[in-house]
Structures are given as structure tokens and as C-alpha cells.
Structure 1
Amino acid sequence: MKTRDKIIYASLELFNEHGERNITTNHIAAHLNMSPGNLYYHFRNKEDIIRSIFDQYESHLESGFKIYEGGQASIEHLIGYFDAMFYTLWQFRFMYANLADILARDEDLKKRYLHAQQQVLTRSSQVLNKIRIDGYLNIAEDKVTQLADTIKMLVTFWISYQLTQSSASTITKEILYEGVLRVLMIFQAYSTTSSQPIFSRLEQHYQALAQNPAA
């Protein structure tokens, strides 16, 4: 692995484990047993590292929430979307925990974030509309984008909500699976008679993962 990539992955690990505000470039360099000068050869500052992590975030959003092709939706398609949601929250949890502060410090990153979120809204609206057409959701077509935006809002602020509404100081996989289950509640509220058993199976699946996330 190239040194630049090592710095990115180590930074992501440290930010997630200890919080981005508590980690400096010196911490990252020490974690990698390199001099600060070597780190600064690859990155100008911590914000520069965060922008590179954001590259990964954008790439995952693009690949994880594409509309499915090849016939009607299956439970495997739905699990794929919910798993992608969980992975995004877990892999980039430091960003969700401190989103307002991170974006306030970097205007260019904020512009990139807003653009990425608009793309997510567009893709997720397309996915929800396809699920609606396939008979899984009972919702008017002109309300689909609002539903997608509501789900996006819940996902975006789930981590910060948990950190402010409970005694939890760290985010666990159990907490994130509970967030996935809350999103499933929204799907169940709009489910059709034929899709209710499928969403019930999904609920059981993610409840089991929440109780035993290491499985």
C-alpha cells in the first residue's frame, strides 16, 4: 500500500475510534511511526486528509445506491440497500458525528458534500420509485422524493442524535443497526399488503444483527 493510502486509512481508523476533533496530524504520524514531515509531504493539513476520505465516501454513495436492474425487486436487492446504508454509517461514523463542524471549517468540502447529497437524493428517489412500481410501497409518485429526503435526514442525523440523547460516548454497530431498523419502520408504514411479510423478514434479519453484530 502506498504511503498516501496508509495515511488515509489510518486517519479514518483514528477519527472513527477517537473522534476527529481529538486527533491531530501528529497523532496520525505517530500511529504510523512516521515523522510529521513525511505526512506533510503527502497532505498539507488534516482538512486535506478529510477531503481524501471524502473521496471514498462519495465513491461508496455512488456505488451503493444505484437503481437495480433486471426485473422486479427482490429481498436481496433490499438487503443490499440496507447493508450499504449500514456500511456508510459505520465506515464514516466520525463524519456523521461531527458533520456541522467539519463542513463549517471547509467551504469547498461543504460544496462537495451538498452536491453528493443531492445526487444521493436523486438516486434514492429513483430506487424508491422503482420499489413503488414493483408493488412494495403504497405512496403517490409525487411524494416519493419527500419520502427519500425524510429517510436521508434520519440516516444523516442518527449518530449525532444518539450521541446527544443518551449516555453513549461511542458509536457501536448495535446503535447503527437500530438506525437501520428505524428506517425499516418507515418502509413498513408505507408497505403494501403483499410486501408486509418481506419487510417483516427484513426486520427480523436486522434485529438479529443488532443483537449479535459480530456474527
Structure 2
Amino acid sequence: MEAKPKRRTKERILELSLSRFNAVGESNVTATEIGELLSISPGNLYYHFKNKEAIVEALFELFRHEVHEELVLEEGRAATLEDLWLYLHLLFQLAWKFRFLYRDPVNVVSRYPGVASRFKQVIGLQARSVAGILSSLAMRGELRATRHQIQTMAVNMMVIASQWLSFEYVRHPRQDLGSDVMANGVFQAMSLVSPLLSAEQQLAFDHLAAPYLSQ
């Protein structure tokens, strides 16, 4: 059996940093701790990342890359209600994977100015994508909403997405949260659309929402 190639030190640093940041919060982890956990010298760590800020920047670039890989919609395609549900699921799943960015976003953007502007761009891209799906539904008469209402809903969905983990951590301060909390966030975001759906689309929404309503 062919042995798997060893991961490069840089990849190991990023993998462990993401795990620790997610587990206890980025502000509670030091570069020294990361080096000790990996059994590498400070000099070796510095060779790859001159400080913790560089690690955070690199992780954010991985996050941004995945956003563009998974959350950029095909232009000109007629979107459905299921597309919106799927898009939000992917968005929340990605937020969970890089949850250190979302558990305290104010702290992250205030401590890392380089991340702040790019984080704003990511949220803007996501809001435009959601607005595009909603506009597609409205054009076919499946959503009764004006352009202003669509923009407002898209922004409100991003508010839920960006603050959901903080909300859950406040609600369950002494519990280890699992990824299932993100599915509930998707339902809350989707619920903003429900009152404006056509009768046919409301039936489709009720079908998609059934697993959440039965909990």
C-alpha cells in the first residue's frame, strides 16, 4: 500500500491553527502555542509565518477562495427556491468550517485591518448572490417583492449568517456546539422569504422546512 505523502509544515500550521482558533477563539491562541503543539521551533514557525497575524491572513485567504469556489452563482441561470436553500446551506457550512471568523467578527475585523476590508467584500458578494436568487424568483412571479424588499431581505439574511454563531454561543455558553446549529440558522434566514412567496412556492417552502418544524 502506497504511503500518503507527508503534509508540508506550512499546511500543518494552518490546519492546527484553524482547529485551535475554532475550538477556543483566535484571541485565546498564541503563535508560541501553535509551535509547541506541532513540536516545531519558533524559528521554523517564523520561516513560514512571521506572526499570528500572517496565519490569520492565510486562513482568511483559504476562506475567501472557498467562497469563490462554492458561492459564486452562474450568471443568467434561472434560480429556484431550492437554489436559495442550497446556497444558504453552503454559506452556513462554510461559516462553520471557519467559525473563528464568525464567533466574534467584531474582534477579528478590529484586530486585523487587512481582513476587515476583504471580509466586507465577501459579505457583499454573498448578499448580491442572495439578491440575485430572490430577483429571479420575483421575475417569475414566485416571490411578491419589490427591488427594495429584495435588497432588504438579502442584507437581513447576511445579518443572520454573520451573527448566528455569536447568538448560539450566547444561548449555550457552556455547551460544545455542533454543526447542526447552522441548519437552524438556515431555517431562520429562509423564514424571511416565506411571507412573500406565491401559494405554490409556499407549498414548496413548507416541504423544505418540514424537518425543522417537526423538531
- 2:89 matches 1:83: yes
RMSD of aligned Cα (Å): 2.3
For each residue in 1:80-111, what CA deviation from the matched residue of structure 2 results, as whole angstroms up to 9, or x when unmatched?
A: 31321221221011111121111111222212
Match of 1:24 in 2: 30
CA distance in 2, matches of 1:207, 1:37: 54
Which of 167, 178, 187 matches 2:193?
Answer: 187
Q: Which amino acid aligns with 2:95?
A: L
CA distance in 1, matches of 2:82, 2:199: 19
CA distance in 1, matches of 2:150, 2:56: 33
% same residue: 25
The more displaced of 117-126 and 16-25 is: 117-126
Which of 55, 60, 64 matches 1:54?
Answer: 60
CA distance in 1, matches of 2:35, 2:211: 40
Q: Which amino acid aligns with 2:147?
A: E
- 2:124 matches 1:125: no
Are residues 20 and 196 of structure 1, via their aligned partners in 2, closer, same or farther at CA, if it must alter by over 3 Å? same
Which of 159, 177, 182 matches 1:153?
Answer: 159
- 2:180 matches 1:174: yes
Q: What's the offset of the Cα at 1:15?
A: 0.9
Unaligned runs of 5+ in 2: 1-6
- 2:21 matches 1:15: yes
SS of alignment partner, residue 193 of structure 2: helix
The more displaced of 194-203 and 117-126 is: 117-126
Are residues 173 and 136 of structure 1, via their aligned partners in 2, closer, same or farther at CA, if it must alter by over 3 Å? farther
Match of 2:69 in 1: 63
Are residues 27 and 136 of structure 1, via their aligned partners in 2, closer, same or farther at CA, if it must alter by over 3 Å? farther
CA distance in 2, matches of 1:182, 1:201: 15
CA contact (8 A) 1:89 1:96 kept: yes
Q: What's the offset of the Cα at 1:152?
A: 0.3
Structure label with greater radius of gyration: 2
The more displaced of 42-51 and 1-10 is: 1-10
CA contact (8 A) 2:22 2:100 kept: yes
The more displaced of 115-124 and 179-188 is: 115-124
Are residues 68 and 111 of structure 1, via their aligned partners in 2, closer, same or farther at CA, if it must alter by over 3 Å? closer
CA distance in 2, matches of 1:20, 1:192: 44
SS of alignment partner, residue 144 of structure 2: coil
Are residues 52 and 71 of structure 1, via their aligned partners in 2, closer, same or farther at CA, if it must alter by over 3 Å? closer
CA distance in 2, matches of 1:57, 1:93: 10
Which of 90, 98, 102 matches 1:96?
Answer: 102
CA distance in 2, matches of 1:203, 1:155: 18
Q: What's the offset of the Cα at 1:73?
A: 3.4
TM-score calculated relative to the size of structure 1: 0.85
Are residues 202 and 160 of structure 1, via their aligned partners in 2, closer, same or farther at CA, if it must alter by over 3 Å? same
